[in-house]
Structure 1
Amino acid sequence: MGKLVFLHNNQPVTDSLTVAEVFEKRHDIVLRDIENQITKLQEAGEQEFSLHNFEESTYTNERGREYRKYNLTEDAFTLVSMAYTTPEAMKFKVRFIKEFKRMREQIELANQPSYMVADPIERAKRWIEEEQERQKLQTDNLVLTQQVNELQPKASYYDLILQNKSLLSITKIAKDYGMSGMALNKKLHELGVQYKQGDIWLLYAKYQDKGYTQTTTHVIDADKARVSTKWTQKGRLFIYALLKNEGILPIIEHDQEGEAS
C-alpha cells in the first residue's frame, strides 16, 4: 500500500484507489459512493464545494490500461467515509484523519519563514532556500524589465535603415574582433554597458530602450528555462562605435589599415 495521503497541487489529498484498498471495498463501489455524494452536493446547490474537493482523474493499471479515479481532499474524504460505520472502518478513518493532519503540518513547516525555525541547521537550510528564491525572483524581474524596454526602442531615421532582423550572439560579434564572447562581455561591462545577474548579462537601464538587444526565454523542461540575449544589427553598430572609440577595431579594419600604411 502507498501513502494514505499525498501532495497534489501542493494540497494534501487521498484518492479513491487508496480508500478502496484501505476499507477493503471494490473500487467501482467507492466510485459509486463518491458520485452519489457529488450528485447530492449538486442537488443542494454546492457545485463549488464539489469542484474544489472532488477531482476526477485517471490511473494506469499493470496491463497499461487507463481507468477513472477521484482525488479527494480531507473534506471530500470525510463526506464519502461517513457511510462507513463499522468499528474497523472507524479505525481506518482515524488513520486517514491523522495522516491529513500530519501532512498539513508538514506543509506549514515547509512554508515557515527561516527566522521562525527553531533548529539552527534547519533554519540555515531554509534561509539558503529563501535567498535562492529571492535572487531568482530578482533576476526574473530584471530580465522582464529589460524585455519590456527592448520592445519600446526610440524611433528615428537611423532606426529605419537598420531593419535587418537578423540577431547575433555576443560570441559571433566577438569573432569580428578576434576576441572570445567572454572577453567581449567583460569589456562591455568595463565600459558600463552591461552587468552580470546570476548567469545572465543584462544591459544597464540607459541602454535597454535603444533596440540594441532582444532577450528571450527558452523553456527546457517543466522546471528549467534558459534566458538568451542576442544583439540586433543596431546593437552591433553600437558596439563597433564604442570599441572604435577605445581604439579597438574589427579584424577586417586591421587589414585595411595595414594596406593604407
Structure 2
Amino acid sequence: MELSPLPQIMFEPLVRATLLEDLGRAGDITTDAIVPADASATVTLAARQDGVVAGLDIAACAFRTIDPGIEIAVARPDGSRVRAGEAIATTHGSARTLLTAERTALNFLCHLSGIATATAAIVDAIRDHKAQIVCTRKTTPGLRALEKYAVRAGGGSNHRFGLDDAVLIKDNHIAIAGDIRTAIRRAKAACGHMVKIEVEVDTLDQLEIALETGVDAVLLDNMSPEQLARAVAMVGGRAVTEASGRVTPATAPAIAATGVDLISIGWLTHSAPILDIGLDTV
C-alpha cells in the first residue's frame, strides 16, 4: 500500500516548538560565533546502520523553518530500506541553518526511522501469515500522529488514534461495570451504529461471553499460541481477532500462525531504539 505523506500542518507546530526549545534565549551561539553568515554548505543525511526511513518531511521542515531557501534532494524516501553508509538525502544552503537545525532534524528522523525499522522487522517475521502488525496508544505525548505514521512506513497498520475512535472495553472497564455483558450492553446503548466495539479478554470463558453478547473485535490478551489457536477457532470469523502481549520478532511467527487477524505491539512506539543517522559535510 502506498505511503501517504503527513500534511505539514500536523507536524510544523511540533518542529517549531522543538527548535524554540533548542534555540533558547540567544540562538545557536556556537554556530553564530564560528560560521560566517554568508557561508554555504552541502551535507548528507546518511544511515549508520541498516533500517527503514521515516520522517524526512519533518527533518526538512526543521531546516526550512530556519531558512525556507534550503534545498533538499531525497535519495531514499520514507518507507525505503537503507543500508549502513547509504545516503538518504542531500541538503544544501546556509551553513548556519544546517548546523542550527541539525539536532532537531535528526531527533525526529532517527526516532521515526527507528520505529519504522522495528515495525519492518516484525512484519518480515510474519510475512507468511495473514496477520497485520498494529501499534497502540502507547505513544510519546504529542508525537502520536508522527509515530503512527512511522509504523505505516515500516509496513504496519494503526490501531486507535484516540479514545474517540472506537470502543475498547478493557479489564478495568469490566471490573467497574461488574461483568463483560454489562459493559458491552452499556457501550452498545450509548454509541451510534458507526462505532466499532472491541472487548479485551484473557480467558476463553470471557471470550465465549463476549461472542454471545456480540462485539466487532476481541483483544486476546497475553494468551499462549495454543490458547490463541483455540480462541480463533471459537470466534470462527464472527469478530476480528487481535493478539497482544509479549510480542517480539522471535515470538511473532508462532502468534501469527494461530490465525489471528491483528497483532498489536505497544513497544513499537514507546520503546523502539532509534535508527542511527548522521549528518556529514560533503
Do the two structures share a fold, i.e. TM-score over 0.5?
A: no
Larger RCO (alpha carbons 8 Å, 6+ apart): 2
Instruction: Looking at secondary structure, tell me which structure has more helix per residue.
Output: 1
Larger CA Rg, structure 1 vs 2: 1
TM-score (norm 1): 0.21
TM-score (norm 2): 0.20
